[in-house]
């Protein structure tokens, strides 16, 4: 009889979680060693500074600063926690974008371009519709849905060329990324949405908290007249932070994606096309339609990430840098999806983990002589190991099989020798 706990271990989900946790632990441990080495050989840090750096790496989210004696203090930090949730929102959604494409056999490296196109459409709708004539909640909804649609349409392009021309989606995504970067820059160049209130921010677009309204008969942008995502009471739980209801929306979307991919016929068809496109077509599944639809869903999720981030009302878009560098949030969705093994529910936790490391980096910069780039090294190590999560899973599976084989090594008792005498007697009677 099989042991009770063996079923849980043999599940693929258990192995995926274990592989991801191993990647995280190794990444954090290597990061701690690097911090220790840097601290020992840096006269401004020393062993004491290195130990403080290690403590912040593992508990920086709960750091509350330093006491009067200069020692690090820890406890519940609502500001850090709220900012972590705010930063996790776009990471969760771009992680979902990459995860959905992975599940259907595609690599959506076009999330940055989809994110940028959604950013442009979201800001233009939010800032271009006056709340004097349309209620602010309705403007928010229009801008949010417009951003999702823009991301979906931009995601369709690599899907179409993959489905009908068999062009690799990675190449198509890279091209659409840079087209989006230059297109968005051109769209905002000379537009009415540029921040003219603060001269030092002439290269920025207004926050969505600025609304188009009439002042003495002249249309102008006024702070507090625009639209922003509702706080939904989270500002009371996490005061002095940027958190808003966007994190709750992201979690709901993640749950819906999980239901779509695991409980519906469409999800089954999408995964079937990813497993074997030709076999799916033989089974009567429209493979070309599903490839395009998969990239459209992925693009819509990246679009939702940008829409929620810029509809927060406290973020600004620096449009002059768009054609020079792609948004890191789009690329950061890749390690989020890898660590989560493309599981939509797990993406929520890996997105929060990556966001936590960003907060840790800021804490190290503010409280020690280290800079935030040390956490980038840790993230890079974790990402590198997460890419080998399949290898780790295979190692875990092989080890388990070896143990099972060793446990079952005593052979079953051999069958008794045949009764030849009875057979001979029977043969004699027949004769």
Q: Kindly indicate the confidence band of residue 406, based on its pLDDT and cuts at 50, 70 and 90.
A: low
How confident is the model over 71-95, as pLDDT tens digits? 888 889 999 999 999 999 999 999 9
Distance (Å, rounded) from C-alpha 295 to C-alpha 322?
Answer: 23
The DSSP element (H or E) to which 268 belongs, if any, is: helix 265-275
Q: Which residue has the tokens 């949730």?
A: 85
Per-residue pLDDT, averaged over 37-42, amounts to: 85
The CA R_g of the chain, rounded to the nearest whole Å, is 28
Distant-in-sequence contacts of 57-64, Cβ < 8 A, 24+ apart: 57/28, 57/31, 57/32, 57/360, 57/364, 57/374, 57/375, 57/378, 58/28, 58/32, 60/356, 60/359, 60/360, 60/363, 60/364, 61/356, 61/359, 61/360, 61/363, 63/363, 63/367
- 251-266 burial: b if 16+ Cβ within 10 Å, else e: bebbeebbeebeeeee
Q: How does DSSP classify residue 240?
A: T
Q: Which residues are 219's β-sheet partners?
A: 214
**pLDDT value of residue 147:** 97
For 82-351, the fitting CATH number among 3.40.50, 1.10.3470, 1.10.1660, 1.10.10 is: 1.10.3470
**pLDDT value of residue 4:** 47
- From the list 185, 407, 155, the residue with the least C-alpha distance to 298 is 155
Beta carbons of 259 and 113 less than 8 angstroms apart: no
Where in the chain are the domains? 1-76+369-402, 82-351
Q: Would you say residue 8 has pLDDT above 80?
A: no
Its pTM stands at 0.86
User: Over the chain, what is the mean pLDDT?
Assistant: 85
Beta carbons of 129 and 212 less than 8 angstroms apart: yes
**Which range (75-84, 101-110, 124-133, 416-425) has the least confidence?**
416-425
Q: Within 13 Å, how many C-alpha atoms sit on residue 268's CB side?
A: 6
**pLDDT value of residue 135:** 93
Q: Kindly indicate the confidence band of residue 281, based on its pLDDT and cuts at 50, 70 and 90.
A: confident
Distance (Å, rounded) from C-alpha 250 to C-alpha 17?
Answer: 21
Per-residue pLDDT, averaged over 59-75, amounts to: 87
Q: Which residue has the tokens 């500074």?
A: 49
Q: Would you say residue 320 has pLDDT above 90?
A: no
How confident is the model over 134-176, as pLDDT tens digits? 999 999 999 999 999 999 999 999 999 999 998 999 999 999 9
């Amino acid at each position: 009889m099989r042991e009770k706990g063996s079923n849980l271990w043999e599940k693929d989900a258990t192995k995926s979680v274990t592989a991801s946790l191993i990647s995280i632990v190794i990444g954090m441990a290597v990061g701690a060693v690097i911090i220790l080495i840097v601290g020992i050989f840096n006269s401004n840090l020393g062993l004491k500074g290195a130990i403080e750096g290690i403590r912040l790496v593992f508990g920086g989210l709960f750091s509350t600063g330093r006491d009067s004696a200069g020692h690090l203090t820890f406890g519940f930090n609502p500001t850090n926690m709220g900012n972590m949730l705010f930063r996790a929102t776009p990471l969760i959604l771009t992680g979902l974008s990459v995860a959905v494409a992975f599940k259907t056999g595609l690599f959506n490296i076009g999330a940055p371009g989809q994110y940028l196109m959604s950013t442009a459409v979201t800001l233009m709708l939010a800032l271009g519709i006056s709340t004097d004539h349309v209620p602010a909640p309705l403007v928010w909804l229009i801008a949010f849905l417009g951003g999702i649609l823009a991301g979906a349409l931009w995601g369709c392009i690599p899907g179409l060329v993959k489905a009908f021309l068999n062009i690799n989606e990675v190449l198509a995504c890279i091209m659409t990324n840079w087209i989006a970067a230059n297109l968005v820059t051109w769209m905002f160049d000379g537009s009415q949405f540029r921040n003219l209130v603060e001269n030092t921010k002439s290269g920025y677009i207004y926050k969505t908290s600025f609304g188009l309204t009439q002042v003495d008969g002249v249309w102008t942008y006024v702070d507090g007249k625009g639209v922003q995502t509702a706080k939904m009471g989270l500002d009371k739980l996490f005061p002095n932070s940027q958190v808003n209801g966007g994190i709750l929306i992201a979690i709901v979307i993640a749950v819906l994606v999980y239901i779509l991919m695991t409980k519906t016929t469409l999800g089954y068809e999408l995964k079937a096309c990813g497993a074997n496109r030709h076999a799916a077509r033989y089974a009567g599944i429209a493979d070309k339609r599903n490839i395009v639809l998969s990239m459209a869903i992925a693009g819509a999720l990246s679009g939702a990430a940008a829409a929620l981030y810029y509809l927060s009302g406290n973020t600004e878009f620096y449009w002059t840098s768009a054609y020079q560098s792609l948004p890191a949030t789009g690329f950061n969705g890749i390690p989020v999806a890898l660590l989560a093994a493309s599981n939509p529910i797990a993406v929520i936790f890996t997105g929060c983990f990556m966001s936590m490391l960003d907060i840790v980096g800021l804490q190290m910069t503010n409280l020690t002589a280290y800079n935030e780039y040390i956490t980038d090294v840790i993230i890079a190590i974790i990402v590198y190991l997460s890419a080998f999560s399949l290898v780790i899973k295979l190692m875990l599976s092989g080890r388990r099989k070896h143990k099972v084989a060793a446990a079952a090594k005593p052979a079953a008792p051999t069958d008794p020798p045949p009764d030849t005498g009875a057979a001979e007697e029977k043969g004699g009677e027949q004769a």
